[in-house]
Amino acid sequence: MVSIRCYSLVSQRPLRYAVLGAGFAGLSVAWHLLQQSSEESNFCIDIYDEVGIGGGASGMSGGLLHPYSPKVKLLWRGEECWKESLKLLNIAEGARSFKPLDMGKPETALKEGDFLVRRSGIVRPALSVKNMDVMNDNAQSCIASCRIETIYKDAAQKLVPDLCVPLDFAFHMPEAVNVHPQNYLEALYLACKIFVESKCSLGISCKELNLHKESVHNLLELAGDYGAVIICLGSRAAFLPELSGRLPLRTCRGVIAHLQLPDHFREDYPANSPSILSDAWLAVQGPRTLYLGSTWEWKSKNHSRHVPEEEASKALEELLPKASVVYPAIKNWTVKGACAGLRAMPPLTAEGSLPLLGCVDEFIGGPTECKYWLFTGLGSRGLFYHAWLGKLMAQAVLSCNEDLIPSALTSWKHRVKQ
């Protein structure tokens, strides 16, 4: 268990909260709980994750962050989510640059792949007329802080040499970013620790943050210990006995391949060239490293990050042809390995595929007291939704008021009861 505490002369019993899961949802909730808690109150957050920070699908995601979709117009609440995500990224970057020597290993020169946010934009070649029409609609209604530029083939190939643009049109998002998910999550946790220590120095109250590398097998284990329990376990939430068979989630395992340019290739991927979105995405990690993803194995129950050789070969057979359609130079890259994560995919609603949030006391049994809360179903959009929804969840938990969460995110409960 990793623990950090702040002590003061205040003797009141601390408010205790359990956050289950240390991925995008869990760390966003933990950060916002700390931010929104009373300055004077004693406050304790216990984070439970058997693997640790980023141990689930969050740490395995591609990290391509933008508010648009090739299938629909601007994503639900696109501007709010985009704004809050950038804010949390900035907080994590600030924590990483601050990093006191007694809170981790000393800073050294960053190696390739050690970045937190790569701000080189994203380009998406048009592959079909339907795709082009939707992206054109997005370009007309894009938010000011994340523009979509419609560009011709020659301009696209200046951005990414060797890029193939089948329909002679591409869509460039210059403000979109590529996040290293694992580095980001570790930095966000570090920001939480720094915040707790900063409150300690004021001596007004006692703040405490604990990371428990252990599983919670059922929610009743925590009965009586906490004022609230926030379940941010992604697909694992559906396997808790109290929630099993009661959540409208679908599971989907995705494999991501790690590729590298061999030493004998002299030309690097240009430092300022964007990552690439297509039927397979290419998330650039550095001048000679990129991630290629992702596959979609529906109804899987396999949470393991490990990808056996047979599964990796099958994934590459699917991903490499898709990538070569837009980036033929992928043939020059060498596969160095693969990893996987199990996504929690939400149901499709009139407003899109939206995460599941809300108080779930009625599923647990016992008196209703706003004690058990759920935040799951981020699907493949965890990085986009996590910051704003984590903020709303923290507000709802602290005030014991589910009405602070948009009804579009809690209406799943009514459908389940019907």
pLDDT in tens, 106-135: 343 345 568 899 999 999 999 888 878 888
CB atoms within 10 A of CB 368: 10
- CA-CA-CA-CA torsion for 256, 119, 269, 321, nearest 10 degrees? 30
Contact (CB, 8 A) for 28 and 391: yes
Q: Give me 405's structure tokens.
A: 């969460």
User: Which residues of 38-158 form beta strands (DSSP E)?
Assistant: 43-48, 64-65, 117-118, 122-125, 149-152
pLDDT of residue 129: 85
Within 8 A by CB and 6+ apart from 106, the residues are none
| Beta strand pairing call for 177-179 and 352-353 | unpaired
The tokens for 269 are: 């991927």
Q: How many CB atoms lie within 10 A of CB 198?
A: 11
C-alpha span between 338 and 48 (Å, rounded): 26
* Mean pLDDT value across residues 144-161: 95
65-74, 189-198, 282-291, range with the lowest pLDDT: 65-74
- Residue 225 CA to its chain's centroid (Å): 28
163-222: pLDDT as tens digits: 999 999 999 999 999 999 999 999 999 999 999 988 877 776 788 999 999 999 999 888
Write down the pLDDT at residue 199.
82
Judged by DSSP in three states, 203 sits in coil
Q: What is the pLDDT of residues 233-265, one digit of tens each?
A: 999 999 999 999 999 999 999 999 999 999 999
The identity of residue 151, as a single letter, is: I
Are the C-beta atoms of residues 36 and 398 closer than 8 Å to each other?
A: yes
Structure tokens, 176: 């979109």
pLDDT confidence bin for 9, thresholds 50/70/90: very low
338 vs 307: CA distance, rounded Å: 6
What are the helix (H) ranges across 106-152? Answer: 129-140
Nearest to 122 by CA among 57, 185, 63: 63
Mean pLDDT to the nearest integer, 35-47: 87
Pair 357, 374: CB distance under 8 Å: yes
Alpha carbon distance 390, 377 (integer Å): 13
What's the pLDDT score for residue 103?
A: 47
The DSSP-derived string for 290-332 is: EEEE---EET-----S---HHHHHHHHHHHHHHHHHH-GGGGG
Average pLDDT, the chain: 89
Count of positions (residues) in the chain: 418
Check residue 395 and give its pLDDT.
97
Q: Looking at residue 102, what is its pLDDT? A: 47
Q: In sequence order, what are the beta bridge partners of 345?
A: 250
CA distance 324 to 252: 24
